[in-house]
Amino acid sequence: MFYIKPPSGQISLHVMDKCVSTRLEYLEYLYNNKANEFDGDFQYLLENSTYDRVGHFILRLITLTSIDLWIYWVSRETLLLKHRLDNIVPRQLNSLLRSIIRQLDMVEHKENNIILNIRRICVFYLQPMIFKHIMSNDHAKNCCIFHYQVRFELIPELIKHREVDLNAGYAIVYCSQWKQLLIALFNTYINQDLKCKKSHALYVVNNDIRFISLKQKIQLYMLQDRPTFGKINNRNIDVEVKKFPLCMQHLHRILRKRHRLSHYARLYYSLFLKESGMKINDAIEYWKEEYSKPHACTSICTHRWQTNEKKFIYSIRHLYGLEGSHRNYTSPSCSIMCTQIPGSTYEGGCPFKNFDTNILTDFLSTSLTKDEIHKFLEVIPLQRPEIICTSYFKLVHKNNNDNVVVTSPLQYYAMTTDLY
């Protein structure tokens, strides 16, 4: 389960491809809590089999070449370990711990801190009294009879979630937490590869046509896009923006001018672009382009892509349902845009409700005549913003359908795409 030593020997390309594709598919089912629905070939997933190890190490090698692929894969591979430990029986655990010790004794740099600690912990849990205790059916979930002390920097995930007690730089891990400890150490051990072997992986993958082809397949699978509709990308957005509702046109204009948006403005605009068809890779490039530029002096956001890249990428992937809870976030409705003002620094809102007359007049002048603008300004206090926005849509796009009522920025854009 720890995958310390890669398998040796030869394997045909189509079998290697099958090992990787089957593993990827199963990891995705597992990540989405649907492992029982997987109907693939389990021979490629049998724990500690050659196929199982080939699938792991090939994915590990290829994802080392991209931080985005690595983040995606590690979270799922860690979940696979948890799933296996949750279903392990005493004989399998005994075999696993002894296998880890045996493999660690064969690697170079045995003095490595993480390797030393993993080995010591395996020896600790293999002690007959302790092993029998942690595998007993009546072992309590909060049992503290036995404990092990490990340096806090080796288990950052447990520290982060405050799952362990700290004492003089050591984390005290109780016997009831043996699974969490093994998972945390696995995560630390495998993440060391990113620091130690990244350059070597880049050289190997980029100089082998077989790996290049396999990496492209993996990228297509891992970064598959899930837009609702539309065709927006980071190259045509300045043209497509003319079809946006005024609220989203405004956020686009502010972003292009200041190269920053406040939190909620960025959230709402990102979700609108996502559901309007902007793919994940285009979204990353789009926000990278803006947030790599110096922010305007009027901007309240001072974050820079160069220093917060991982955070930005994770945030974008999270909105696309590729990280965290995998929640399907949706773009805001008109009612939210009209009523929710998340703070004095928020640049968004509904132009027909939240903007002053001068800003609104400036917006309307790009598509309406002075007489039309005057009429709009007269009826705004008398009608709901959604009705005003609907009238604006009909006027600009010469649409006389009385059944049309704008209820969200996304719907507005969807109706414009039907017209073009």
Mean pLDDT, the chain, integer: 85
Q: How far apart are CA 282 and CA 210, in angstroms?
A: 26
Give the SS3 label for residue 24. Answer: helix
Percent of the chain with pLDDT over 90: 33
Model pTM score: 0.56
Q: pLDDT tens digit string along 101-115?
A: 998 888 876 667 888
Residue with tokens 């809102």: 349
Helices first, then strands: H and E counts in the chain: 21, 3
pLDDT at 36 over 70: yes
Cβ neighbors of 240 (< 8 A, separation 6 or more) are 231, 232
Burial class (CB in 10 A: 0-12, 13-18, 19+), 389: buried
For residues 14-24, give the mean pLDDT. 92
Radius of gyration in angstroms for the set of CA atoms belonging to the chain, rounded to a whole number: 27
Give me the mean pLDDT over the 143-170 stretch.
89
* CB-based contact 146:133 (threshold 8 Å): yes
Q: Residue range 325-339: average pLDDT?
A: 76
Residue among 365, 341, 344, 371 nearest 353 (CA): 341
CA distance 265 to 346: 7
Q: In angstroms, rounded to a whole number, what is the distance separating the alpha carbons of residues 78 and 322?
A: 16
Average pLDDT over residues 290-311: 77
CB within 8 A of 87, min separation 6: which ones?
A: none
User: Quick one: average pLDDT of 232-238?
Assistant: 88
The secondary structure of 80-132 as a DSSP string is HHHHHHHT--HHHHHHHHHHHHHHHTTSS-TT-HHHHHHHHHHHHHHSHHHHH
Sign of the torsion angle spanned by Cα atoms 376, 380, 382, 385: positive
Name the band, by pLDDT with cuts 50, 70 and 90, for residue 48. confident
Confidence of residue 372 (pLDDT cuts 50, 70, 90): confident
Torsion (CA) 63, 65, 68, 69 in degrees, nearest 10: -20
- Per-residue confidence (pLDDT) for residue 5, from 0 to 100: 87
CB atoms within 10 A of CB 190: 21
**What does the block give as tokens for 135?**
């595998």
Do 94 and 41 contact (CB within 8 A), yes or no? no
3-state helix, strand, coil in the chain (%, to 5): 65, 5, 35
HSE of 102 in the Cβ direction (CA atoms, 13 Å)? Answer: 7
pLDDT average, residue stretch 85-113 = 87
Tell me the HSE value of 211 on the side-chain side, using a 13 A CA sphere: 17
Contact 250, 363 (CB under 8 A): yes
Contacts 24+ apart (CB under 8 A), 384-392: 385/334, 385/338, 385/350, 385/352, 385/353, 386/334, 386/335, 386/338, 388/352, 389/245, 389/246, 389/334, 389/350, 389/352, 392/246, 392/352, 392/364, 392/368
**Distance (Å, whole) CA 156 – CA 88:** 25
What is the pLDDT, as a whole number, of residue 225?
45
Higher-confidence position of 29 and 419: 29
> Tokens at residue 106, please?
């064969």
Counting every residue written for the chain, the total comes to: 420
The stretch 1-18 carries a mean pLDDT of 88
**Cβ atoms of residues 43 and 51 within 8 Å:** yes
How far CA 134 is from CA of 78, 228, 368, in Å, comes to 21, 48, 74
pLDDT band at 296 (very low <50, low <70, confident <90, very high): low
